[in-house]
Structures are given as C-alpha cells and as structure tokens.
Structure 1
Amino acid sequence: MSDESPLISSLRAAVAAAPGDVPLRLHLAQLLLEAGHSDAAVTEAAVALTHAPGDQQARDLMMRAMGGSAAPVAPVAPVTPETPVAQPPVQPPPARDGYDWKAAEREVGDVVPPRFVASGQGDQARGFERPLTSDGSGDAGDADAFEIEAPGGLRLADVGGMQEVKDRLEAAFLAPMRNPELRKLFGKSLRGGLLLYGPPGCGKTFIARAIAGELGASFMSVSLSDVLDMYIGQSEKNVHEVFRSARRKAPCVVFLDELDALGAKRSRSHHSGLRNAVNQLLVELDGVEGDNEGVFVLAATNVPWDVDIALRRPGRLDRTLLVLPPDEPAREAILRYHLKDRPIESIDLGKLVKVTDGFSGADLAHLCDSASESALMDSARTGTVRMINTKDLLAAAKQLRPSTEAWFSSARNVALFANDGGMYDDLLAHLKKKRKL
C-alpha cells in the first residue's frame, strides 16, 4: 500500500520474516485497522487465527475490522521472549443483530481453510484422488486396489517340455478343478494351495500363469512390495484387500511371488509389520474372514526352507511341486524362442541342448544374448553383417556356468539333513538321479 507508514512497512517485513509470530502479526493488524485499512487487518487477523485458533485478541480484532468500526482498542504491546503472554479464556463472540456472518465467511474464505469438510473432500482439496473402497475404508468405490489380469490364453501346452511337472500338476491340482461332478461327489472344495519351489529362473511364474489359463481364471500377482507398509496395521489391511479383491473376481488365481519374503519365518523376523502380515495371510488362507471358494492360491519360492512352517500346513499351501531346470525338450523350445527374431544360420539345436544341461531359462536367454553380441561385434569390425551361428552359441555356452549350481549346493544340505516329513523327497530323488549326493 502506497500510503502505509514507515512503522507499518517495517512490521510487514518483520512478519514476513517470522510468519508464525502471532503477537507481532496482531500488532500489525491493529495498526492497519487504526490506519483505516480494514481489509488488510482482516487478512492479518485471519492468518493469526490459523496459527492460534483460540486466540481471543485475534477474534476481537477481526470482528472490529469486519464490522468497519475503527473504535480504539487496547494497544497490543510488543512481546519479547521474557514477557509471559496471558491467554484469556476462550469465549464465543457476542451476538450482533443484523450482522452478515455469511458475507464475513466469504471475505476470509480464501485465507482461513475450513475446519471440517465433507467425506472425501479433504484429500481432493490437497490434490489427491483417493476414491473409497466399497467398505468405506480406502481406495476406490468398487474398484480393486490391486491389478487383476483377465483370463488369458496361456496354457500348459505353451510351456516347452517339463512333462513330469505338467503331469503332476494335472493329477494333484488341475483335474479336480476341471471336473465339477467328481469334485462334488468326493467333497472336494473349489479352492486349493500349491507351492512351486526350485532354482531361480526356471519358469515358476510362467507356469503359474499357465495354470490360471487352464482354469480360465483371473490372475493376480502379489509380492512383498505390494503388501508391506511403514504404517502400523496397513500391511495386514493390504493382505486382506488382496483376498477381498480375489473373492470378488473369482475364479481367480492369487500368485504369491517370492513367498520367502512375504511369508518369512516369524521366529526370524525382526519387523513387527512383517510378522503381522504373515499372521493375516494365515487368516486369509483359512478363509476365516471370507469364503475362498473359487480362489486358487499359488506361491513360488527359491528357498522353501525359509517359509513359515504354518503356511504349509493342511488346508493352506499344503501341496508342493519342485520346478527343476528345463529338460531337453524345454531347452530346445526356449532356445528357439530367443533366436527366432535374430539373424541366424545353420544352428545345430541338438548340440546346443546337449551342452546346456542344468541351464535355467534365464541362463539360456543370456546365452543367446552373448552369442548375438559376438556376431554384432564381428559385423561392426568388418563392416559386413555376419549371421549368428552354432560356433557363437557354443562359445557362449562354454563361458557361462549354470546359475542353478549354487542353488543345488544349498538345497542338497537341506534335503539331506532337514527333510522333515519327506518334504523334500522329490529333491532328493533328483539329486540321486544326477549323482549329486
């Protein structure tokens, strides 16, 4: 304001430097009111009230300013750190006949935020779009908080080789689900839990998606990062929301990826939130808080010995399936897949399959990448495009070691000395077959 006194200008600068100093701001507001700047006084008093909602001086000063009265008021003495400030009891302002309170609210509406808002307006006013869940507790009317994939076209026939795994899946899991008459006759519930374990990179996630396709079910993949939360109680709520969403989309396959992280042994966990998440997972698997009919729970882990034993009790993830490195037909199918869009010539797949025994699917993909890089570098050096040949692939296979070897070294000790109840009999049989015992 051009007609402000030097004192008011100095006080404005002081308030700007210390915006939370309520007595200083009220002193400025009083001077503005005495100088005839009622609107500016209202603004300063309103800001003071945001810092001290119960300050009677601020309320009285605002009433005077909004009423247009510039009657003298008691001066607001400067307050120093040594000066105690007496806080008068908070009293409602006296009623004033004919006073337009609505107009006053409109006048200060852009300065003083509302103390209460209708449900959902608070987050939106701050720029957050958080629609509520159907139970009013969280994220989206009837929308699901977790991504659920519609039934896909992937089938077990699309999984190359691994016939033994497919046969066991068919007998232990899929056949009862496909035959409702037999299931009803033998009292088999339309639910189930299956734990896939084995070395990393061998296609456990791919198999889980293929099972969902065989069942014509939706698919939901859940990992630790989807569940664990820093706030107390939120992790358990997230686990409940996973199963609530799956029940609404039944039939649905819930795939718990890296179960050793999500369902780690509670005796070894130092994170209370993770222990509570495991407890909630047990409750959901038992169907205590909802009917799990049509919800198929699949889980995958590289270290089943680190999974909480309660998760593997009957009625939960009580069936296990060892997913080994791809066999010869599977390795040939994987190599064909990773070479189909590359410039190749005269590839002897039979020879490659023989030298890649023990390679995981991820190892075979890396093998094709390495051979491709070799041919690319030769083409760059000579200026002539050279196709990828068998020699490139065999040279890459010679340089690589199967990543599954480290896993079998660890699993061997577990299978020999911690095979309680025959849990790892299939792993022992494989190690004996490969003469690794």
Structure 2
Amino acid sequence: MVDEAALNALREAARLSPDNLPLRRHLADLLLAAGRLAEAEAEYQATLLLAPGDPGTGIGLAETFVRQGKNGAAMAALDRILATPGYPPKASVIAARALLGDGDLQAAARHYRDAIVRDPALADPELAARLTGSAPEPAYPGPATPPGGGAPGPTYYPGPAAYPGPATPSGGGTPGPAYPGPAAPPQPAGGWGHGPASAEPTAEVERARTTFADVAGMDSVKEALRMKLLLPIQQPELFKAFGKRSGGGMLLYGPPGSGKTHLARATAGELGAAFINVGLADILDMWTGSSERNLRATFDLARRNRPCILFFDEVDALAARRSDMRQAHSRQIVNQFLAELDGVDQHANEGVLVLAATNAPWYVDVAFRRPGRFDQLVFVPPPDATARAAILFLLCRDKPLGEVDFAQVAKATEGFVGADLKGLVDRAVEAKLHESIRAGRPVPLGTWDLMTAAQTIRPTAVREWLGTARNYVLHSNESGVWDELLPWLRDLR
C-alpha cells in the first residue's frame, strides 16, 4: 500500500517544482505501483513533456498502457526506445506483453527472449506460460552454461513452433543451439493466420426491463437520448417530414461507474427494443479477418432484430486511433467498424440504434465522429447531490427501511458515482444482516447505517479521471468537442 499522505506531499512538491524530472518520475512510479493507472498515465505524460527522450519515463508510460489494455499505445510509446542501441531490456518485456495482447505471439516471444538473454532477472514465468500456451518449462533447454557464458539462465519461451537460436547470441559468445518450443497446434482451415470463412455472433439479444424511471438524475443525457434515438422511432412521420430516419449512433463518455451501461440498457427498455450488449470477447479474435467477420455478424444480428439498441462498451478498444496502431489487422478492425456504421446502403441500419461508451474518448479515432456515425458525444457526469439522493433511494427501495434521510447521506458522498453508491448500500446491508441474524428478525436500514458505510468508502475514480481528462482536453479543444467537460476541469483542484 502506498501512503496517501506521502503521495499528497509528492503531488504538492511536484506542483511547486513542476520541472523537477526525478520528482515527477518518482511520483509516476509510485502511482503505477499502487495500481492508480489513470493518475500514473497523466503523470508520465507530463514527465515526457519535460524529457521526451527519457527511456525510464517511456517504459513506465508503456507499462501503464499495457495494464489498461491499450497495447497499440504502449508500442507507440516504446518505438523510439526500442530503436535505440543498448536500450533497457525491461522495454522488451513490456513490448512482449503489448504484442501478446495484440495477438502477435511470435514477435512477443522474440522480445521476451531478447530481454531474458540480456537480463535473466527479468524472467516472468506467467508471461512465459502465456507465450507457450502451457506451464513454463522447469529447466533451461540447452547447455548448463547459456550462450555467451555466465550463470545458467531461465527457460526460453518461444512461439508455437521450434524457435531457432540466433547466429550470434545477444552479448556475443559462441552461437547457441536452437531453443525448442512446444509442439505447434493443429493448423486451422484456411492456413495459419486465417479464421473460419463465416462467423456466428456470440453476443445475445436481451429484452431490457429497466427504463429511464430507473435512472436517477442525468436529465440532459436522457433528453439527448430521446431526441437522437427514441423519438425518430416513436414518431416516425414527424421526423420523416424533416428527412430524418431512425438509426444513428451516440457515444457516451465519462468516469468509470457513472452509469453509462445502465443508461444504454434503460434506453432499450424505454423503447421496448431488443438490446445487444457487445463485449470485446464477442468481437476480437486471434485469427486474421475473424474480428472483422464477428463485427459484421453482430451488426447483422441487430438488423434482424430491429428496432434494436446495439451497445459497445469500452469502445476505445475497438475504435482506437489508427495512427496509434502498429498492426495492420488492428486498423482493419477499425475500418470494418466504420463500414458497418455506414451500412451497406443508406437504409441498411435503419432501426438499428448504436450506442457506445468509453472512459477514454480521446483515444477514439476521429473518423467515428463524422456525421452518420458517433456524431454526438454526450458527457455522462458524476451525479450531483440531488441525483445521489435519488440513486440511494432507488438502491434501497426493495430493502427493509426505517427512518432514512437520503439527502443527508448524499451530502456526505461528494464525488461518489453510481457504482460507489451501490457499494455503499451493499456494505450497509451486510452490516445490517449481521445485526438481523443476531436479532432473529429483519432490522431496517437507517440513516446512521448508510452514513457509517459512507465513512469506509473513499472514491477516487472521478478525480483520477478528471485529472487524466484535463491533460488531453485543455490543449486540444479547438473544435469545441469537449466544451461539456470544461466546467468540471476548471473546478478541479
């Protein structure tokens, strides 16, 4: 655990001495070690502005990206480092993790092998097992003394076929033998790197039971959803008179836990439409071309069930900026996504309402904001005190209640998002269950129970997210696309 007081002291020192590179690096490293990835990313980015060529900062930023699943951004951060002779071997380990996340097994194995040849202390059995698809080998598959001399090193974990040793091992010495990997898996139909010719969607069609009545606050967001998505289907003749058809897309963005998925499901319930919640596992596939076919199959599923809300959560993973991508197949996924949003013809997506959500809208390729795609970005803000009281009421309405002053609890939960409030209620209920078991009867929740639970929860998501947003938004808002965010950023201390 990182001492919060120490972090605050470092933040204050960095504020007073913003050009102190070692201090900023140390703060970023501590945030990364604490798992506070959004804050660490922002601090590394600020440090890179001071020293763009500092390899330690670049490696730290790349590790932050990898741990957030932003593998293309990680490789972009490592590009210059990996091109520098004698670069730190840790950069190769981070590159191996990023490439493995992108499905490039051979390149990942090559980078990992390079790292442990140069520094055996960097051996990572878990990463090695993922590279081989099996448990790590217990022994070094070669001579007792590794190529180039020195103490015996760890096992090499190459790709799915036998991995030939280099003509001259890193660091010099006598050429070493081949380092065999596990047996290659059966070759798929169509050859290596190609998936099946057709795809069946793995996403499922739901019928949402929640409506806007189950969503507290967020009136402006609900009104935007009504005008963009609901009313064109509910009043088609009126919209047809103005040349507007049902269909189109909207991108919801905001801090984690602010209720974006809940809003999407409530939109489908409000309309009585089918709802398809698309996860990354429903789309991404290791075989070239399969991800694109999965996208096509998912859109076709929505077209067969129209009117339908097609919801993509964490859409930045599927719609990332192509300029940040190193792999051609990743760019092809983005191109396919854009083509599906446009539809095969102008009527193909009529009645298919595409909603997407992200915590990192600045990573979404700008092409998705073109009219007819995600042309409307809607900020889903943290709830204010009135909305927090309403959320607490909705969360508690099916539980035994005594005297509860929800407004008082709302005042004590400044900075809480919907997910935090749910955690608060769950914690209060757990404590009340223990009391009820002892009493032999249900003991109702009261204000004191919720206030006590509120003292045990310390939300950080909103401030972390706003801190990250500030670094991206304040210097790139020429088009005014982030105007909704500016009041929140100005109030950030």
Shorter-chain TM-score above 0.5: yes
Task: Measure, in 2, the Cα distance between the counterparts of 1:384 and 1:294.
Answer: 51
Match of 2:310 in 1: 254
| Distance apart, 1:203 and its partner CA | 1.1
Match of 2:477 in 1: 419
Task: Measure, in 1, the Cα distance between the counterparts of 2:311 and 2:471.
Answer: 28
Which stretch shifts more, 188-197 or 209-218? Answer: 209-218
Asked if 1 retains the 8 angstrom alpha-carbon contact of 2:265 and 2:275, the reply is: yes
1:265-284 CA-to-partner distances (Å, cap 9, x unmatched) read 22223344332211100111
Match of 1:328 in 2: 385
Match of 2:293 in 1: 237
| Distance apart, 1:243 and its partner CA | 1.1
1:87-142 CA-to-partner distances (Å, cap 9, x unmatched) read xxxxxxxxxxxxxxxxxxxxxxxxxxxxxxxxxxx9xxxxxxxxxxxxx95467xx
Match of 2:242 in 1: 186
Match of 1:315 in 2: 372
Amino acid at match of 2:356: A
Question: Given the alignment, which residue of 159, 162, 177 partners 2:218?
Answer: 162
State the Cα RMSD in Å. Answer: 2.8
TM-score w.r.t. structure 1 length?
Answer: 0.62
Higher-Rg structure is 1
| Distance apart, 1:236 and its partner CA | 0.7
Q: How does 1:65-80 map to 2 (within 5 A)?
A: none
Match of 1:408 in 2: 466
Asked if 2 retains the 8 angstrom alpha-carbon contact of 1:159 and 1:330, the reply is: no
Aligned residues: 297
Q: 1:384 to 1:416 in 2, by over 3 A?
A: same
1:16-65 CA-to-partner distances (Å, cap 9, x unmatched) read xxxxxxxxxxxxxxxxxxxxxxxxxxxxxxxxxxxxxxxxxxxxxxxxxx
Q: How does 1:11-410 map to 2 (within 5 A)?
A: 138=198, 145-150=202-207, 152-288=208-344, 291-376=348-433, 387-402=444-459, 403-410=461-468
Task: Measure, in 1, the Cα distance between the counterparts of 2:232 and 2:441.
Answer: 58
In percent, how many aligned pairs have the same letter? 48
Asked if 2 retains the 8 angstrom alpha-carbon contact of 1:415 and 1:424, the reply is: yes
TM-score w.r.t. structure 2 length?
Answer: 0.55
What SS does the corresponding residue of 1:417 show, helix, strand or coil?
A: coil
| Distance apart, 1:382 and its partner CA | 9.3
Asked if 2 retains the 8 angstrom alpha-carbon contact of 1:344 and 1:389, the reply is: yes
Q: 1:252 to 1:377 in 2, by over 3 A?
A: closer
Q: 1:154 to 1:344 in 2, by over 3 A?
A: closer
| Distance apart, 1:224 and its partner CA | 1.5
| Distance apart, 1:306 and its partner CA | 1.0
Amino acid at match of 1:429: P
| Distance apart, 1:262 and its partner CA | 1.7
Task: Measure, in 2, the Cα distance between the counterparts of 1:382 and 1:171.
Answer: 52
Asked if 1 retains the 8 angstrom alpha-carbon contact of 2:214 and 2:394, the reply is: no
Amino acid at match of 1:369: D
Task: Measure, in 2, the Cα distance between the counterparts of 1:210 and 1:385.
Answer: 31
Amino acid at match of 1:412: R
Asked if 2 retains the 8 angstrom alpha-carbon contact of 1:162 and 1:329, the reply is: no
Task: Measure, in 2, the Cα distance between the counterparts of 1:249 and 1:385.
Answer: 44
What SS does the corresponding residue of 1:394 show, helix, strand or coil?
A: helix
Asked if 2 retains the 8 angstrom alpha-carbon contact of 1:148 and 1:219, the reply is: yes
What SS does the corresponding residue of 1:421 show, helix, strand or coil?
A: coil
Task: Measure, in 1, the Cα distance between the counterparts of 2:263 and 2:436.
Answer: 38
Amino acid at match of 1:160: A
Task: Measure, in 2, the Cα distance between the counterparts of 1:383 and 1:184.
Answer: 62
What SS does the corresponding residue of 2:267 show, helix, strand or coil?
A: helix
Amino acid at match of 1:320: L
| Distance apart, 1:221 and its partner CA | 1.2
Amino acid at match of 1:255: F
Which stretch shifts more, 286-295 or 299-308? Answer: 286-295
| Distance apart, 1:383 and its partner CA | 9.2
Q: 1:212 to 1:354 in 2, by over 3 A?
A: same
| Distance apart, 1:377 and its partner CA | 5.4
Asked if 2 retains the 8 angstrom alpha-carbon contact of 1:196 and 1:321, the reply is: yes
Match of 1:86 in 2: none
Match of 2:487 in 1: 429
Asked if 2 retains the 8 angstrom alpha-carbon contact of 1:223 and 1:262, the reply is: no
| Distance apart, 1:370 and its partner CA | 2.3
Asked if 2 retains the 8 angstrom alpha-carbon contact of 1:177 and 1:190, the reply is: yes
What SS does the corresponding residue of 1:202 show, helix, strand or coil?
A: coil
Amino acid at match of 2:382: P
Amino acid at match of 1:219: F
